[in-house]
Chain A
Amino acid sequence: MAAPSAAGLRRRLRAWLPRLTQVRWSRYNPSFLEPEVNKELYQKPLEELSEEEKKKLELKAVQPIKAAPPSVSSSVFSDPMISKFTNMMMKDGNKVLARSLMAQTLEAIKRKQLEKYHKAPEDEKEAIECNPYVIFHQALKNCQPIIGLSSITRGGKTYQVPVPLKDNRKRFLAMKWLITECRENKNRRTFMPEKLSQELLQAFNNEGPIIKKKHVLHKMAEANRAYAHFRWW
C-alpha cells in the first residue's frame, strides 16, 4: 500500500535522485513557514509556553510566513479535518457542491441524533452524542487502520508485508474508504448526504462496512505476520 521510504535515507534520496528534477515545487521560497490560524494560541501569555514553543515563536518572528489558504479561517466553524474531507469529496473543482453536501451531511447527522434523543428514555438521554463534529471525528478515528500492507518483491515473488502506517496515511485511508463506500454501494435513489450520514453513524458505533474493511485489513496483516521481517525501514 504505502511506498517504502526510510527515515534516515529520505533526506539524501530527495536531493540525490539522478536525472530527475524536483517536480513538486512551490511558488514560495523554502524559508517560508506555515501560518497558524488558531486564535487561542496567540492569546496564551508568555509564561505558559514550553521551551519548544518559545523557540518556535522566536523563529517565527524572523522568518516570513505563507499566506493562509482560502479554505481556512479562524472562526469556530472551520475545521481542518472537515476541509480535508470536503476536498476529497470534491469533483472537478466544484467546491460549492462539495461544501453544500458536507453541510447537508452534518445536518442529517444532527437530525437523526436529535430524533433518537427525543425518543430515548430519561436515563439514556445523556449517553446520546448530538454534536455532528464530535461524531465525525470519532467515526473517522474508529475507521483508521493501525497497520497496513505493502508489496515487497523478493526473489521474483511479491509478498504483502505488514507495515506500520503514518498518521497522515491512516487519516487518508479512513476518508478514502468512507467516500468510495458511499459512492459505490448506494442505491441510485438515495442522496450522498443521507448515505454519508448513515455510514458515519454506523462507524461511530463501530459497526458497518468500513469498520469491517478495517478488520479485514488487520486480519490480512496478522495472517502475513511471517513476512514482517522483510521490512527494512
Chain B
Amino acid sequence: TSRLIYTTTAVQRKNVGASGPEKYTEAFIKKQIEEFNLGKRHLANMMGEDPETFTQEDIDRAIAYLFPSGLFDKQARPMMKHPSEIFPEQRKIQWGEDGRPFHFLFYTGKQSYYSLMHETYEKLLSVQKYQDQLTAQDLPPQKEKRNLAGSRWLTKIELEEMLLEKLSDNDYLRFIQLLKKLMTLPCGDMEEKYIQKFTKEVPAQLQKVVIEPLKYDERGVAFSTGEGIRKTAKATATVYDNGTGKITVNGIDILHYFPVLQDREQLLFPFQFLGRVGKHDMICTVSGGGRSAQAGAIRLASAKALRSFVTEKEVEFMRQAGLLTVDPRVKERKKPGQEGARRKFTWKKR
C-alpha cells in the first residue's frame, strides 16, 4: 500500500547550507597534486628552465609574467600553488560503514578539543602523583626553571588549525589556563615536550635593529642622524657632540617654535633620560601633523640618533622607557551610519 505524504515545496528544496563547506575526497586531492606536479614541469619547459629545480618562487614569477593582473587583492590574482595550501585541511569521515563513530567523544561535538583537555588533565594528575611520591619519600621536588620569556602560547587560530575544529574563546582560555597550571607545578622533562607543542618562539627584539656608527663632519665633531614619525608628522634630527644644548627646529629655536611647555619637555626627554642635557646640539626638520605630533616625531628621531652615542645597555633602557617605539596610534576612520569614529547619530524614538 502507498501512503500520501504531505510535503511543502520548501522541504522538497535541497538545503544547500546544511552540508557545510565542500568536502574533498582523498582521491580528488591526490589527483590535484599529480596535476600540479605535471603542470609545474610544463611551466618549467615553457619558461625554458630546468624542470627538476623549479622552485615555488620561480612558479610565482612565471605566473605573474604570463598572467599579469592589476587587482589589488593578492588572493584574487591568478596563482599556482601546491594543493595543500589551496584546499583547506579537512577531517576524514569520523564514522565507519555501520554509522558508528570512531572517537569515543564524537557526540560531544568538539571531540579533538575535549580529548586534548582530557590528555592535558591526565598529565597534570600524573605530575601531581609523582610529586606526592617524592614527598612521601622525603625528596624535594625538582624545580627546573624554564625560560618563559622567549616563548608565547599558540593563538586561538593556530590552535584551531592544529585541531581542525572550531573553538570558542571560552574553550581556548580554559585550555591555556590548564597549560599554565601544568607549567607552574614543578614538573620534569616528560611534560616539557608536551607543553612545547603548544608554544612558539618569540625572537628577541633587539637583534633586528642595527645601530649605526658615529659620523664625523668637517670640524671633527661627531654627529648622528635619526628619523621619527608620529601620526602624520615626519621628522629628521641630527645630534652633534660637544654642544651646549641648543635645539633648532626648521631653522627656528625651540623656544619660539614650541611655545607650549609640554612639547619642549618631550624634546628634552631622551636627553634628560640619559643625563646628557647640556652636552648635545640638535638640528631638526619636521613637517606635517600638529603641534604635539611634531614634538613626538622629533622625540623619536632624537632618541634614534642618540643610540649611536650610548652603550648597548642604555639603548635597552631607552627601549624599555618607550622612547624607541613608533607610536602606532592614528586618527580612527569615520564609519558610515555614524557621525564620527565612535559618536553615533542622535537617537530619535520616532
Contacts and interface: CB of A to CB of B under 8 A. Distances in A.
Nearest to B152: A31
Given A39-B273, A62-B204, A74-B272, A68 B260 contact: no
B10 interface: no
Nearest to A60: B320
B321 A68 contact: yes
B292 A70 contact: yes
Contacts of B329: 27
Nearest to A16: B170
A67 interface: yes
B315 to A, nearest CB: 12
Contacts of B266: 70, 73
A15 B169 contact: yes
A65 B268 contact: no
By CB atoms of chain A within 10 A, which of B152, B265, B330 has the most? B265
A61 to B, nearest CB: 7
B322 to A, nearest CB: 3
Contacts of A61: 149, 204, 316
Query: Which label, helix, strand, loop or mixed, suits the secondary structure of the B interface?
Result: helix
Contact of B261 (A15, A66, A67, A99): A99
A65 B328 contact: no
A62 B150 contact: yes
Nearest to B325: A67
A27 B328 contact: yes
Contact of A35 (B148, B295, B320, B330): B320
B321 A35 contact: yes
B173 interface: yes
A71 interface: yes
B66 interface: no
By CB atoms of chain A within 10 A, which of B205, B275, B321 has the most? B321
A12 interface: yes
A78 to B, nearest CB: 7
Interface in A39-63: 39, 42, 58-63
A230 interface: no
A119 interface: no
A70 B295 contact: yes
Contacts of A73: 265-266, 268-269, 272
A28 interface: yes
Contacts of B268: 73, 75
Nearest to B267: A73
A58 B147 CA distance: 9
A107 to B, nearest CB: 14
Contacts of A27: 328-330
B259 to A, nearest CB: 9
A178 to B, nearest CB: 22
B296 to A, nearest CB: 6
Contacts of A71: 262
Contacts of A118: none
B211 interface: no
Interface string B262-300: 100110110011010000000000000000100110001
B132 interface: no
Interface string A87-105: 0000000011001000000
Nearest to B151: A62
12 contacts: A16-B169, A27-B329, A39-B273, A39-B275, A59-B148, A61-B316, A62-B149, A64-B205, A67-B323, A68-B269, A68-B321, A99-B260
Given A61-B204, A62-B202, A78-B265, 4 more contacts: A15-B170, A15-B173, A75-B272, A99-B261
Interface of B: 147-150, 152, 169-170, 173, 202, 204-205, 260-262, 265-266, 268-269, 272-273, 275, 292, 295-296, 300, 316-317, 319-323, 325-330
Interface of A: 11-12, 15-16, 27-28, 31, 35-37, 39, 42, 58-68, 70-71, 73-75, 77-78, 95-96, 99
Ranked nearest first, the 6 interchain pairs of A and B with the lowest CB-CB distance are: A35-B322, A68-B322, A15-B169, A67-B327, A67-B325, A27-B328
